[in-house]
Structures are given as C-alpha cells and as structure tokens.
Amino acid sequence: MVMGELVDEVDVAVVGGGPGGYSAAFRCAELGLETVVIDADGRLGGACLFEGCIPSKALLHVAAVVSEAERAREWGVDFGEPRISLDQLRKWKQERVVGKLARGLASVAKGKGVTVIGGRAVFEDSTTLRIEGESLQKVRFKHAIVATGSAPAPLPGIELRSDRVMDSTAALELPEIPERLLVIGGGYIGLELGTVYATLGSRVTLVEMTEGLLPGVDRDLVQPLQRRVEKLFAAVHLGTKVTALREAGGHVEATLEGQGAETFDRVLVAVGRRARSRGLGLEATGARLTERGAFVQIDERCRTHDPHLYAVGDVTGEPMLAHRAMRQGKVAAAALAGQPAAFDNVAVPAVVFTDPEIAWCGLSEAQAKSQGMETKVAKFQWAASGRAATIGRADGLTKLVADAASGRVVGVGIVGPGAGELIAEATLAVETAALVEDLAATIHAHPTLSESLMEAAESLLA
C-alpha cells in the first residue's frame, strides 16, 4: 500500500472485522496478497468477540459453576449461597476474556501485515470503497470481501425505545440482575442468556412464538433442555406472542397473547438476527441480494455476482455461526487467489451452550427421511454411561443417524453437558463419510462421555 496518498491501492479490501472478515484477511495475507480490513469499530473480532459467542460463553461458564455448586449439595458438599459481584464479573468478562482475545487478534494482524482501518465502508463501484471514519479515505482494490455480519432483529410491530428493553448486546453488558426478566424468543440467544440471568437470580419468563423451543431442532434433543428450563425459569409460554410493550412506573408492562398483561423489570428481545447488507453501496456493484432476508447471494466459492466481490459470514445467510463464517473466509481467500477451494462442507456443527448443551451436525432423522433416505437410528441414553453417572448427569442422549444402504454416519445429535465438545468427533465422522463400524471399532477412552458415540454405533451393528 502507498501510504500518505488520498487513495490506497490494495489487492484485497475486507469489509468487516468479524470472524469471517479476519479469517479471510489472515489467509489473504498468508497467500502474499496486500490486504486491509475496514471495520466500523476499528478492531478485529466483530459480533462474535465483542457482543456474541465469547462474552455469552464467559457468562454461561459462570452460570454452569453456580449450577454445579448447587448440584454438589446432593453429593454432601455445600458451598453456601453464591454472592455475585457484578462489577468484578463484568471486569473479568471485559478485560480478561474479551480484551485479551482482542489484543491477540490485533497482534496476529500486525504479524501478518494486515492493516486495520477504522470507519464505515461504502462501495462507490466494483473496485472502490469510501471510508467514512475520522477522515474521509478511499481504498481501491482488486478484490473485496464483504463480511459485514448481522445485527439483532427488532420485534416486529412493537416500538418501545427504553433501556429496559434490551437486545443481546445490551444484555451481555449485565447492566443489573433484574428481579423479573421477560425473554422474547426461545432460540439460541433467548435460551443461553435466559439461562445466565435465571442462574444469577432473575425470575425469567420466556415467550416463544412457535409451539416448541429451538424450532427446527430434533425434539429428542430439545426435550431434556426443555425439562431443565421449565424448572430454572419462572415460566415458559410456547405458542405465544407479545402483542404490546409499555413502560410504566419504572417497569415494562407486557401483553402476552391470551395471557393478559404482566409486569417486568427488563425485557430481552431475541427474535433472530438480520443481515447487514443495506447502506453498504452494494447497489453500485454487481452483487445481488436475496429477496427474503436481503442476504448477499454467493456461490460455493463465496463469489457474488460481481467478479470483484466475494462475501462471507452472516451477511450471506444461515446458519449464522462464527465457525461457518471462518471457513467461508478461508475459502474466499483461496478462491480469489486462484486456488481450488469451495465451501463444500457436508456438516456444519451447531451448539446451543445451555445446561444441558445441545449439539448436532449433518442430517437429523427427519431431514434424512425427507430426503427419501432409509435410515438406521440409534439413541444411546446417558443413564447407561459410567462417566455420566460419575458427574451426576444421566439426562443426556446421543443420537446417531446412519444411511441404511451404505452404513454411513449421516448425522449426529447430542444433548448433555459437554455436547459442544463431543460433537467434534461426530462432525469428523460425517464429514469424512465414516461408517457406523468405524465409530464402533474405534477405541474410546473409558470412562468418558465420548463412549456414548461408540455405544450408539455398536447398538446399530447388534
């Protein structure tokens, strides 16, 4: 890059410094391409590091410790009532967890020679970006990678601007532990952050519009979580909508369809996320958006309809997960460098970090059937696992879905503590087209929860 000029000229301009953007930029730099990242916040990490995966998992770890201490009473160990210092908790999350990782990313960027520019980027045409930061700047590029991510979706039809109505970003700041918290949306965020607040002491009421928590996820996996959540939360209303929110006397009054009005101290709105594809000047390029969701349309090499533009991550659609964004980032970098690369992964694992955790990859039983596949399905209950007994958690389940004709493992679902770690082996099995026999004949350390995969596989061979 030629510094000091009005217009910077680079090989690759990455717009957005989240996991999709920084993974792409790092790979581009490794491939010898001069690369800049333009991020509105002037730092690498994006929603994942500053307002998503990382802070939520730090708080969920704290919640898990509190829950485990409660469970320990059953085993004759009593730590007493937890005393929570919110200031210290916020400081730990912000400085020791998020801050440390942010500094790490900044130093990796420096080491690889990736320049980070702070400011909002807008496309002027297919090879030029205008950057609206402290000073106006232009970047001319051979290729750009759009990685602008997503933002919380507002509650349709309800307009109440109040500090008491939070999105996930505000809720992760832990402004207080409200006495009564209404969570709207029984998806990933509603369940994860609902768990955090309920464990820290809030009376949580969750309202989910559809007839079940985590719509679309295998009910065999959701059931144990639902049982736990019904105990942990004050109330769970399924098939219910919030029709009005009104601030009154320092509280929020919510009208729940068919249930009347209830008063809460705070509300968390977690009804999905939407693509950040507007206001980016994409209309000045050849890139196209989908009609539903305004996602940037891409092919398997992450190319948009404009030969200069690639796109990765949440802005390209579901599943909006950091690890998918990262993989796409690497694919886009290799593709624009002319290497053979495609986002052709068979399995994108998903993990809901609740207690118990839910994780899955590949095809669910229902998806396999809807594709006309004849399946063999094993369900291994953790009640029969030695390891589950030693940690006092018999409430887990490992479910294996295999193609009856070939014996290939096509999908796995796990519910139970540590499911998020266990799904890695399952994802490798699905991705590498492992056979049920392969899982059954692989020695799994005893006693571990990973044996549940082997046991499930063995039961299909019996």
**Residues acting as catalytic residues:** 446
> How far apart are CB 5 and ligand FAD at their closest, in Å?
21
Question: The dihedral of CA 178, 153, 257, 234: what is its sign?
Answer: negative
Considering only residues 220-279, where is the footprint of ligand FAD by CB under 6 A?
276
Residue 9's beta-bridge partner residues? 140
Cα(137)–Cα(128) distance, rounded to whole angstroms?
Answer: 11
d(CA 187, CA 214): 5
DSSP 153: P
46 is a contact residue toward ligand FAD (CB under 6 A)? yes
CA–CA separation, 456 vs 33, rounded Å? 47
Residue reference for tokens 């994860």: 192
Q: Give, as one character, the DSSP assignment of residue 83.
A: -
For ligand FAD, the closer of residues 36 and 121 by Cβ is 121
**Count of residues that bind ligand FAD according to CB under 6 A:** 37
Site string for ligand NAD, 207-226 (x = CB under 6 A): xxxx----x-----------
Structure tokens at 122: 């807008």
Among 241, 305, 369, 376, binds ligand NAD (CB under 6 A): 241
Closest C-alpha to 307, from 131, 141, 148, 147: 141
Residues 135-154 that bind ligand FAD (CB under 6 A): 147-150
- Identify what 207 binds: ligand FAD, ligand NAD, none; CB under 5 to 8 Å per kind: ligand NAD
Measured from the CB of residue 193, what is the shortest distance to ligand FAD in angstroms? 7
Contact between 320 and ligand FAD (CB under 6 A)? yes
Q: Is 155 a residue that touches ligand NAD (CB under 6 A)?
A: yes
Tell me phi and psi for residue 254, to 5 degrees.
Answer: -115, 135
Task: Give the DSSP letter string of 423-454.
Answer: HHHHHHHHHTT-BHHHHHHS---TT-TTHHHH
Contact segment (CB under 6 A) with ligand FAD among 291-299, 314-322, 427-435, 440-448 equals 314-322
Site string for ligand FAD, 278-297 (x = CB under 6 A): --x-----------------
Tell me whether residue 147 or residue 457 sits nearer to ligand FAD (CB atom): 147
- Which among 9-17, 154-162, 201-209, 227-235 is the span making contact with ligand FAD, rule CB under 6 A? 9-17
Contact 313, 329 (CB under 8 A): yes
Number of residues lying near ligand NAD (CB under 6 A): 26
- Name the helix (H) or strand (E) containing 237: strand 235-237
Distance CA 457, CA 440 (A): 5
Please identify which residue in the block is written with the tokens 């059937």: 369
Name residues contacting ligand NAD, limited to 347-406 (CB under 6 A).
351-353
Residues in touch with ligand FAD (CB under 6 A): 15-21, 38-41, 46-48, 51-53, 56-57, 120-121, 147-150, 168, 189, 276, 280, 313-314, 320-323, 325, 353
Residues in touch with ligand NAD (CB under 6 A): 155, 184-190, 192, 207-210, 215, 241-242, 270-273, 319-321, 351-353
